[in-house]
With several copies, the nearest count.
Chain A
């Protein structure tokens, strides 16, 4: 009946450095096992899977002539712009929905509706309204990350402990301040979930966004490679997107750790 004492957070009575080392070790091992499996699979399915080696070679090639970096820069710019706008909008709209019943009533059906619409279907409309420049591309990414994270934010807002809001209200706080100083920090855990998911959605939509008359970008690179069945380049694209997404996610995780150190958790 004796369980081990539960892992505790940084404020634990025991220091946790050793655990952190073990953590990284497991991650690294897991990544290598994954690479190994990929390599094995690529031997079994040479037509559909590039081998890690070929991909690495292609990566070096693409990096060597600079095209990779142009494409990364273009995509990063789009993802970042779309994600930033989408997140800010999601927080504002999510608050509005959580706070004002009228706003919730007016917006809810539309959000639920558009959330299930594939981004590809939005593209023709975006072109007509916004042309073939950067605007529609950023718009599609914005939309995707907005639609994902607005739900999380909204849920965060309605889950805020009522006594905390009351505590703010009795100190004379107006709605705006309650939002900024209580609802936002209290729903930070939810908002960060939303942001992390929104970021995923933003990257995943990138390829669709760059269907819109893009001349550069990782999605464009992959689409071009796809029509030429250039597996190596497709895999380079996937891996670069994956790694960039992972890095941005790490930044969010780090931000989360900083922003929620007040939280008591396991």
Chain B
């Protein structure tokens, strides 16, 4: 198995008015091709920062990030990104937002329409295809952002708390859908979440991060078969793994807070 994304001793230091803040410190991580990685950790531990470096939007202050063995120099359409803050283009309707990446790829009109309709159907926004983002509710905005990333059909998906603002049912639906396409197309997925259950349910491996400075605390391999079913979710193994991740995130955290 070759490495799709490789972080090699990566650090990220934000410089701001003289003072500097180490958001990510000396992280090394190899993500295999077709792997589904989830990242959990307390708020502010550097999850988004790590993902932005994989996206090519942020240059590491130290170390290097490689995709397919080549050091990253910038973002590319091979890596689809869903941002924590939607980042919809407010001047485009839902449909145009989703179509954006396809136009960049210069797909023909009918192909574009087909794909846009498919993903809008998927996220349940068909009825709102021609609405401006400002008229959408919070959850609808997030679904629109998801649709935009899906539409471009990238080989790597970088998702920053994508299901955070969704209600439970939509969320489960989106999880199924994501796993479904992932098993079919075998993309590489890096998925940030603050929901430990979600992290375990989706992942091959769960990366647990710790804060101050942001670093990898533990990597927990989830040895459960795909497709993941409701049965698996209710299994002993699942519960054990969930507790293991939970302890890795919070036991450590509370220890640190106490010290």
Contact = CB atoms under 8 A, between A and B. Distances in A.
Contact flag (A, B; Cβ within 8 A): yes
B124 interface: no
Interface residues of B, number: 42
Interface stretch (A23-31, A166-174, A230-238): A166-174
Contacts of A185: 89, 91-92
B76 interface: yes
A5 B59 contact: yes
Interface residues of A, number: 33
Contacts of A182: 89
Contacts of A181: 100
Contacts of A1: 76-78
Contacts of B80: 170-171
A261 B17 contact: yes
Given A12-B15, A172-B152, A166 B83 contact: yes
A167 to B, nearest CB: 4
Interface string B73-90: 111111111010101111
B152 A186 contact: no
A173 B100 CA distance: 9
Interface string A13-35: 11100000000000000000000
B57 A5 contact: yes
A178 to B, nearest CB: 10
Given A164-B87, A170-B79, 7 more contacts: A5-B58, A11-B14, A13-B58, A163-B83, A170-B80, A188-B91, A262-B90
A84 to B, nearest CB: 23
Interface string B90-129: 1110000000110011000000000000000000000000
B202 interface: no
B214 interface: no
Contacts of A170: 55-57, 75-77, 79-81, 158
B173 interface: no
B199 interface: no
28 contacts: A1-B78, A3-B73, A3-B76, A5-B59, A10-B16, A11-B14, A11-B15, A13-B58, A13-B60, A14-B15, A163-B87, A167-B88, A167-B89, A169-B57, A170-B158, A171-B77, A171-B100, A171-B101, A171-B104, A171-B148, A172-B75, A172-B76, A172-B104, A177-B104, A185-B89, A185-B91, A263-B91, A264-B134
